[in-house]
Amino acid sequence: MWPIALCIGTFVIIRIIHWGYSWRNPKCNGKLPPGSMGLPLLGETLQFFAPNTSSDIPPFIKERMERYGPIFRTNLVGRPVVVSTDPDLNYFIFQQEGQLFQSWYPDTFTEIFGQQNVGSLHGFMYKYLKNMVLNLFGPESLKKMLPEVECATCRNLNRWSCQDTVELKEATARMIFDLTAKKLISYEQDKSSENLRENFVAFIQGLISFPLDIPGTAYHKCLQGRKKAMSMLKNMLKERQAMPRKKQSDFFDYVIEELKKEGTILTEAIALDLMFVLLFASFETTSLAITLAMKFLSDHPLVLKKLTEEHEAILEKREIVDSELTWKEYKSMTFTFQFINETVRLANIVPGIFRKALREIQFKGYTIPAGWAVMVCPPAVHLNPAKYEDPLAFNPWRWEGVESSGASKHFMAFGGGMRFCVGTDFTKMQMAVFLHCLVTKYRWQAVRGGDIVRTPGLQFPNGFHVQILGKN
């Protein structure tokens, strides 16, 4: 009996050792990038999600760059990943979208955003949805939305100025959500029996967390928040379908018309996932950027002075000072756009952009096996001292004379390639209008908070509380 047990035990131990060796040394037809695959099953997931307070390249990335170079391998949530901090490889990945690479995110991401979310769709279906979104956020639509954005901003700033303090991240998120939800689905919290945004708040708190779906964890709360938000959106869509409007007035109306078309490729599930992603993306990232922008202005008086001068000059040129902001005035905000670029460069709200290799790829002597994930790392690009002098310094003047309306090898705050964020212009418009209304009519002072934590996404754990006062 003992010899049999001993043989079985030895066999099990050998299998475990072999499995561990295979995990750490994946098979490859060529030369894999250097790196570590971490522990079996876990990989280096815990290290990747470890909180840090640095505004520099995330420690997880920086330590491995110093050890292995700009291209290295790891394993995140059970998936082998090649991490790229190399500008040439990043550019190559974006340019080869749909040919050598396709958009990919971990299974946990698709659980959160839906199996049919726009980030997980490819080819014709992706282009179709992108054109739908451009119908809402394209230049002509934004021109019409400009007065609404200004009106909403002025209304909220006026209300905040009547309060002792305001927590900026929460306040701006609410402002943008209310505006976007009204444009997308004609949702107004004051007229609804259910609070749609509350479900998004629960969703956000667990969005970038360790994917452990157990009651009490942030990830579980995230999934529950999505479930409730999706249920509300589905009920709203059903109500609208039951009582269609005579005139198209929001994105829901547009979606319903598309669903009615004969031979349409749009399904209700895809439409709802799209609506969910648009609502989330429109307010969460922009509110983070605005909060960080005000923190930068509080810390850099010369930047605030220059920004204020630009916007006061706009008012001085008007025949009627209190008239609405025009599209021409908006497009003239040269320093403002430099300020926005510098803010999002340092914000690095998106810590990684994922793709999947569709076939085996050779690059700079390394092999990326077919099926492996590739993570482009924007923070490493934006904080590269070879491109940006004193990269951690906040310096909007570094963008003077630089054309930066799109993505490049050295700037990818809004993604790159064919998946360049279609909401980029909407985000910039909201930020520019907010800054215009703020610096021309108000002054403020930081009260408390403003600390930054990355896990790895940007967060303000203590908020950023400010007191806003009218200038006159």
The Cα–Cα gap between 332 and 433 comes to 12
Rounded-to-10 torsion of CA 190, 196, 197, 201: 150
Largest Cα span, the chain: 100
Q: What is the CA radius of gyration of the chain?
A: 24
- Nearest Cα neighbor of 372 from 156, 164, 71 is 71
The Cα–Cα gap between 337 and 399 comes to 9
The Cα–Cα gap between 62 and 342 comes to 21
The Cα–Cα gap between 284 and 169 comes to 9
The DSSP string of 320-338 is STTSPPPHHHHHT-HHHHH
Q: Which residues, 6+ apart, have CB-to-CB distance to 130 below 8 Å?
A: 118, 422
DSSP label of 43: B
Please check whether residue 258 is in contact with residue 132, taking contact to mean a CB–CB distance below 8 angstroms: yes
CA 338, 339, 343 angle in degrees (round to 5)? Answer: 120
Beta bridge partner(s), residue 373: 81, 356
Run of H or E including 250: none
- Nearest Cα neighbor of 315 from 145, 163, 148, 471 is 471
Q: Three-class SS of residue 101? A: strand
Tell me the two tokens of residue 244.
């269609």
Rounded-to-10 torsion of CA 332, 336, 342, 345: -70
The DSSP string of 300-311 is -HHHHHHHHHHH
421 labelled binding-site residue: yes
Beta bridge partner(s), residue 356: 102, 373
- Binding-site entries for heme: 421
- Binding-site entries: 421
